[in-house]
Amino acid sequence: MTLEDVCFAVCTALDAVGTTAVLTGGSAATYYAPSVYQSMDADFVIVFGNSELGVQALHRIGFAESGGIYRSDWSPYVLEFPVGPLMIGREHIADFATVRRGRETLHVLHPTDCVRDRLLWYFHYGDFSALGAAVGVAAGHEVDMEGIRDWSERERAIAKFELFNREIARAEGHGSKTAHLPLA
Amino acid sequence: MEADRSLRLFGSELRTKILLYLAMLGETYAGELAALIGVSRVTVYRALGDLEREGYVASVLSGRERWVRLSPRNVAVESLSNLLTLLAENRPEIMATLSRLRRRPRRRGKKIDRPERT
């Protein structure tokens, strides 16, 4: 049972009752780069739907809430539903990816937004584990590096962006998607 | 051997490591540096005191913690920071240690995220 399996199951159950939940945070990074970064919880932001029906759907698949965290007997991963809207810093995110796996559905941040979401923690908190996750996602997926660079400039973090960029090059140069950062 | 010499660039391995982490983190405190380097807080405090007297480091008290950074009053701070960043990026053990550093807030009761070890 991987985090991806749990996320597909949850998102599909919510979709079935008309609730759109988008995977975000470190769990989105785990979805894109599972060999680099492993989150132990899934953060979903509800962008549309009826929360009561959503809670019932979660109960039906075995999740119960305690202290704002949903747990189940069958999942090693817990669920959290941070208050929306879907945002990266102060920027609203209107568009997200919808992935199909058989009959299952997963809504998740686009890789570029996932990278920006992780980089924010590195830029403003000096969180290198988040940088490692961003490098892992960017090294393995097509992301808009020019857009990320411009955004980094607006965040006044261009020097940190340059380090991020060098770490991607290292990851790719080493024939690994991890460079030194996520190999800790 | 070359790599080992670079760790003595600022007088000792401890002083150099402190400066490397400062360049990478921007701002930090003795407890965090001690955990990253694997020495006691007292040892770090002592080295930080010397580095501050020599003009490499500046500190400011915030709450009960003394935060340190490369001294903005050092005329060579930008070049120093660039040099230290370059050195740090090329020391895998420094980058690996940093990669385990989580600074973003964690909600009480949440499980701990962990980078996958492969």
- pLDDT value of residue B4: 72
Calpha distance A48→B87 (Å, rounded): 48
- pLDDT value of residue A67: 87
Q: Which residues on A lie below 8 Å from B115 (Cβ)? A: 36-38, 129, 132, 182, 184
- pLDDT value of residue A13: 96
Q: Which of B99, B103, B111 sits opposite A41 (nearest CB)?
A: B111
* Nearest CA among A109, A48, A119 for reference residue A89: A119
Report chain A's mean pLDDT, rounded to a whole number: 90
Measure B69 CA to nearest chain A CA, in Å.
13
Cα B98–chain centre separation: 9
Q: Which residues on A lie below 8 Å from B102 (Cβ)? A: 127, 129-130
* Nearest CA among B84, B90, B100, B96 for reference residue A180: B96
Q: Which residues on A lie below 8 Å from B109 (Cβ)? A: 67, 69
Q: Which residues of chain B have pLDDT under 50?
A: 1, 114-118
Determine the Cα angle at B1 with ends A184 and B6, to 5°: 70
Give the class (CATH, top level) of A3-109: alpha beta
- pLDDT value of residue B64: 85
Q: Which residues on B lie below 8 Å from A69 (Cβ)? A: 109-110
ipTM above 0.95, yes or no: no
For chain B, give every domain's residue range: 2-97
AA identity, residue B62: S
Which CATH architecture fits B2-97?
Orthogonal Bundle (1.10)
- pLDDT value of residue A182: 45
Calpha distance A91→B72 (Å, rounded): 32
Q: Which of B96, B110, B116 sits opposite A36 (nearest CB)?
A: B116
Question: Is the CB of B92 inside 8 Å of chain A's CB atoms?
Answer: yes
CA atoms within 13 A on the CB side of B7: 13
CA distances from B14 to A131, A184, B45, B50, B51 (A): 25, 21, 11, 12, 11
- pLDDT value of residue B107: 65
Taking only the tens place, the pLDDT of each residue in A122-169 is 999 999 999 999 999 999 999 999 999 999 999 999 999 999 999 999
- pLDDT value of residue B2: 55
Q: Which of B28, B104, B109 sits opposite A127 (nearest CB)?
A: B104
List B residues 49-88 in contact with A (Cβ-Cβ < 8 A): 85
